[in-house]
Amino acid sequence: AQSVTQLGSHVSVSEGALVLLRCNYSSSVPPYLFWYVQYPNQGLQLLLKYTTGATLVKGINGFEAEFKKSETSFHLTKPSAHMSDAAEYFCAVSERDDKIIFGKGTRLHILP
Amino acid sequence: SAVISQKPSRDICQRGTSLTIQCQVDSQVTMMFWYRQQPGQSLTLIATANQGSEATYESGFVIDKFPISRPNLTFSTLTVSNMSPEDSSIYLCSVEDLDLGGRAFFGQGTRLTVV
């Protein structure tokens, strides 16, 4: 069965510092992996996704994530945090046409 | 936290028919979202449903095709009308719980196949 674990329900980083949001998954077949961001009172926005091919995926707003099959991880990073990055981030896994499983989310706080 | 029950979990429907998907939450929530994920794609927001007002649809989605009801703070339905094979997708309900700092919670999704 699929599952997604996001380490840390809250993460705080200083403005300009590295952002690292952790996501580990389990899947019986090669998965599709997603990172979504949700700002208050808005729906989810796709940051990036991995389906096949290159394991380092670049997304919007300077975010990227690397699919590491051996570690079953898909951590999200950004070299330099900006105040506008403060939001809730969700990692999700989908086994092709099967249902989507979301992690519990990580609230990112940016410290001035 | 909020627990969401979404029904049905999957269905196979004939083209031209309609299917209503239900989303039940165990607590009162202000904002509910309906999404679609087509095969191999990411989630696409269909509409935002707030109790007491008309649903707000995203570009490319219209009320005649995807009517939404939000009769109270714990329940919503999405209907996929006059279905075609292109409507085959996963449909997902999500809520935002303002009482818990705006955290989001998700239903299990409805896997719809139109034949």
Closest Cα in chain A, distance from residue B16 (Å) = 22
Closest alpha carbon to B35 in B89, B97, B115? B89
pLDDT values of chain A reduced to their tens digit, one per residue, 112 residues: 778 999 999 999 999 999 999 999 998 788 889 999 988 777 788 899 898 888 999 999 999 999 999 999 999 999 999 999 999 999 998 876 566 788 889 999 999 9
Name the percent of chain B lying above pLDDT 70. 94
Which residue has tokens 């939001």?
Answer: A87
Q: Is A96 within 8 Å of chain B by CB?
A: yes
Q: Check the CA dihedral B24-B27-B30-B32 and report its sign.
A: negative
Give the DSSP letter string of A20-41.
EEEEEEE-SSPPEEEEEEE-TT
Q: Is A28 within 8 Å of chain B by CB?
A: no
Count how many pairs of residues, chain A against chain B, have C-beta atoms within 8 Å: 57
| End-to-end CA, chain B | 37
Residues of A in contact with B103 (CB under 8 A): 88, 105, 107
Query: Are B104 and A38 an interchain contact pair (Cβ–Cβ within 8 Å)?
Result: yes
Q: Is B79 within 8 Å of chain A by CB?
A: no
Q: Is 90 exceeded by the pLDDT of residue B95?
A: no
